[in-house]
Chains A and B, each alone.
Chain A
Amino acid sequence: MSTITAPAPPPLAPSPGPSIAERAPKRVISPERVAAASTLLVIVGLAVVAVAESGISLPGMIESWSHAERFFARVGSITFPEPAELLYLTALTVGLVLCGTLLAAVISVPVAYIAASNTTPGPAWRAAGRFITVITRAVPDVVLAMVFVLMFSIGSLPGILAIGIHSIGMISKLFADAIEQIDEGPRMAIRAAGGSKFQQFTSGILPQVLPSWVATVLHRNDINLRGSVVLGYVGVAGLGLEMSYAFKSLNYSLGLGIALVIFALCVAMEIVSSVVRRAMLGIQPSGRGLGDRVVRGVTDARAARSSRRTDAARSGAPTSGPGLASTAASGDLEAALRRPWTGSRVRNTVWGWTAVAVVVGSVLICDIHWGDLVTFWAKVPAIAAQFWPPSFGNYEASTLVAAMGATIGIALAATLLSFAFSVLIGSLAARNVAPNGAVRSSMRLVLVIIRGVPEIILAIVLIVITGLGSQAGTIALAFGGIGLLGKLIADSFEEVASGPERALRAAGATRGQVYASATLPQGRRALLGHSFYLLDSNIRCATILGIVGGGGVGYYLLNAGQGSNYAVVTTIVLMILATVLIVEGLAVWMRRVFR
């Protein structure tokens, strides 16, 4: 081959040709790339305007400091509910969230199966699967809770179903992505040997995707725990509901006490998830694969998966090694036929049964009215009639559209602010950027703590201090966003190829130069993807913050819900749906163009 292409055409009569710079290979600038870049620029520009418009002013906040002092003086000392009640509420909250997440996980398996390109029965099935994925993600869980409380008994079931249905979107999408990335070998081998579709799935696919699936479910569980606070505001039982009662009756000391418990619970759950992941999957607890799975699943998961697979293989090797050696030595056929009780097998079994016990406990504490699952069908037509057709109610269409615009503005402003701080904190939290281990660990801790504060609690406290309007909502969202985006950025930076970094370092580059010329350029695509994910999640959260007075469409959503103007609720949900779909479309397009 080289003999054909290698000889350059002999230089013919050298005419005064173009200079070297002009002849050098250039990157082809496709019009699509230009379009995407300008769209991105417009979005960033809008975000800058939104930040300016959000009314965040340092002098204003400093001026308001006296309110904060007076407010905290009125709060007095923080109080907690009675220990027995607190224990029950905590158990109920955890149980409800676990049940909801598990429900979503179970439903997500078939959805993911039909949505994944390599397992789907046909294109129509695939489209249906993807549709379920998108729609369940975009409908706010507060709206689902609103609907379910009409159909089911008051108590835990509406909350479980709201969490469950809403979580299907994210879980099934990541499940499907995991299925698409499997090694097809085992599955084809089973098919060749005459295995049924079911056998192909259970033996060929499931073992490969299980680690990723477990990580996804645990991650979603963390998100749902934080989200349960919001659901409390629309009447779903647990700590969130008690907190909303306390805040509504101006019992701030109790409200903040419960908020503190929720915060501790969120942090504890994050730690437990990390431990479980390590114990079950052999994943190192560096945080790889927790949050980044969300976006990496969407973007380019192949590299990470293969690295994790080798991780798993490495941790699996020692257990199988001794097993084989001992059977070979004894030559005992009986022993060889039985799977030996190795340390890891014992550990897995114990963990497995603990998990089962936790699930059973969760179901018991939720005190589910199972009969409802049979009787609610009769109520569906009447309720559906209340929601359809959508209407603007007594509002002018322009009022709701303007409110939706305000929500998007808050989300954009918050995303930009989060981005600015996340790049700083996230970079310092990455192993290959941080100057030393202490900085890295402390930054990681900061991120965990930030993630532990549910946005809604922050927004309530901020509103109480700074008054109504989008300022409080924007700051609350931006703060929460740092926790998520900072972590995703740190994880992506740790995953960049280390070659360029080492080359630069070997050439005597300073740490700043290595960061600017090797780490950042390689992590740029991930930055873009993560930021769009944050924008998408902020639009949905901004809606929710509107519920507590953070400005935007959330107020109208809750007000319409309270007044049972469900046709207006439908209208607002459709507007949110359209917005989220547009953002998703933009994100997909940008990721493709900037590949």
Chain B
Amino acid sequence: MSTRFSRSIVALLGVGALAATLAGCSGTAAAGDSASNDTADTVSYAVDENTIVFGVVPDSVDTETNYQPLMDYIAQETGKKVDYHESTDYAALIEAAVAGKIDVASFSGFTYVTAKNNGAAITPISSIITAEGQEPGYYSQAIVPTGSDITDLAGFKGKKVCFVDPSSTSGYLFPSYNLLNEGIDPETDVTPVFAGKHDVSVTKVGEGVECEAGFAEDSEVAKSDKVTVVAETMVPGAPIVVSDTLPEDLKTTLTDVLSEVTIDDIIASGVKGADSDGFRSVFYATSPVDDAYYDTIRDICEKTNADQCQG
């Protein structure tokens, strides 16, 4: 690299950095104005009218989100480009939803309620099921080591109890709610242990040393033969939501496309890769859901007063 060239690069960068700073300053006012005009009535897109931004956070730990054929199907049916983003971080997707940075998203029921509470303009259409005849959702299960003398939730009192982490729906919030219903305070009446992950919670309960009882999701509990299920609660399935700020006709199209589609429809439409074991394992069909379906979660929010529910 010639030295003169590198010097001019340095100079250019300096100018660029300066310009960026100035542009940032002047941009503040402009953006502020447009934000104040931004009402629910105005039509807006996350990126532009030719792109649909689809955000995904895996709902249950069992979810491997290889939804590419579904994305291709949406692109094919709407004639638009689909931008597909996946994350494991609820907060990122909630903020993206609140900021109107997504057009369609799939995330947990809890995330949906939180996003709504924080002012996201979104409407649930349907929830993905992975087998024929299945109800959307999965179970949060209360488990004890096989052979333990604890037989119900009431027996958890005073024990070392494994939860997943304080922000986990099936690993903490539903269990807390159920414990509170039994008159047990999940913070003071048991010794809470946060395992961090569902399989770790199952493992530690199975060993019976660090935790004498615990909670985890059904798919992880099923993998272990060292624990026994003493109670379970259905966690509402993850909704596919559509942004309210999209134009009516696009919303209608998306609702038609996504509310009751089966894997056979997608395969029949000729989408490449849909007829694969990988896709079959994560998608069977969608089943319509509405806002009221998530009232259980609102009830839990009220009862447990969890941080995440605050608007």
A residues with a Cβ closer than 8 A to B are 58, 61-67, 69-71, 74, 146, 149-150, 153-154, 234-235, 245, 247-251, 393-396, 399, 420-421, 423-424, 427, 460, 463-465, 467-469, 512, 515-517, 520-521, 547-549, 551, 555, 558-565
Contact = CB atoms under 8 A, between A and B. Distances in A.
Given A154-B194, A250-B114, A394-B278, A520 B92 contact: no
Tell me which of A250, A423, A515 has the highest count of chain B C-beta atoms within 10 A of its own C-beta. Answer: A250
A236 to B, nearest CB: 8
A469 B13 CA distance: 25
Contact of B91 (A247, A516, A564): A247
Contacts, number: 195
B64 A565 contact: yes
B196 A564 contact: no
B50 interface: no
Contact of A420 (B13, B24, B93, B307): B13
Nearest to A462: B92
B58 interface: yes
Consensus secondary structure, chain A interface: helix
Contacts of B194: 154, 235
Nearest to A520: B3
Given A250-B307, A396-B273, A150 B66 contact: no
Interface of B: 3-4, 6-7, 9-10, 13-14, 17, 20, 23-24, 27-28, 30-32, 34-35, 46, 55, 58, 61-66, 68, 85-96, 98-99, 101-102, 114, 118, 165-167, 193-200, 203-204, 209-210, 219-220, 223, 273, 276-278, 281-282, 306-308, 310
B10 A423 contact: yes
Contact of A153 (B89, B114, B210): B210
Contacts of B199: 150, 563-564
29 contacts: A66-B35, A67-B95, A69-B28, A69-B32, A149-B196, A150-B200, A154-B196, A154-B204, A248-B165, A248-B166, A248-B308, A250-B91, A251-B307, A394-B282, A396-B278, A420-B9, A464-B92, A467-B46, A467-B95, A467-B99, A516-B6, A547-B89, A551-B85, A562-B61, A563-B61, A563-B219, A564-B61, A564-B198, A564-B220
B308 A249 contact: yes
Consensus secondary structure, chain B interface: helix
A154 B64 contact: no
Contacts of B278: 394-396
Given A58-B20, A58-B23, A248-B167, A562 B88 contact: yes
Given A395-B278, A421-B17, A516-B3, A559 B88 contact: yes
10 smallest CB-CB distances across A and B, nearest first, come from A235-B196, A549-B87, A62-B27, A248-B167, A564-B199, A249-B307, A66-B35, A467-B101, A468-B85, A67-B99
B27 A65 contact: yes
A547 B308 CA distance: 20
Nearest to A249: B307
A563 B88 CA distance: 12
Contacts of B118: 74, 250
Contact of A234 (B3, B13, B196, B277): B196
Contacts of B17: 421
Given A250-B308, A464-B91, 4 more contacts: A248-B91, A467-B95, A549-B89, A564-B61
B99 A563 contact: no
A251 to B, nearest CB: 5
A393 B64 contact: yes
A443 to B, nearest CB: 13
B68 A399 contact: yes
B290 to A, nearest CB: 24
Contacts of A247: 89, 91
B76 to A, nearest CB: 19
A552 to B, nearest CB: 11
A62 B273 CA distance: 38
Contact of A521 (B3, B167, B210): B3
A467 B200 contact: no
Given A250-B114, A517-B3, A464 B197 contact: no
B44 to A, nearest CB: 11
B16 to A, nearest CB: 9
Contact of A245 (B89, B94, B166): B166
B177 to A, nearest CB: 16
B64 A394 contact: yes
Given A71-B95, A234-B196, A424 B10 contact: yes
Contacts of A63: 27, 31
B68 A249 contact: no
B70 to A, nearest CB: 14
A560 B273 CA distance: 21
Contacts of A149: 195-197, 200
B63 A563 contact: yes
B20 to A, nearest CB: 6
Contacts of B88: 547-549, 555, 558-559, 562
A501 B93 CA distance: 54
A153 B209 CA distance: 9
B7 to A, nearest CB: 5
A420 B307 CA distance: 42
Contacts of A235: 165, 194-197, 200
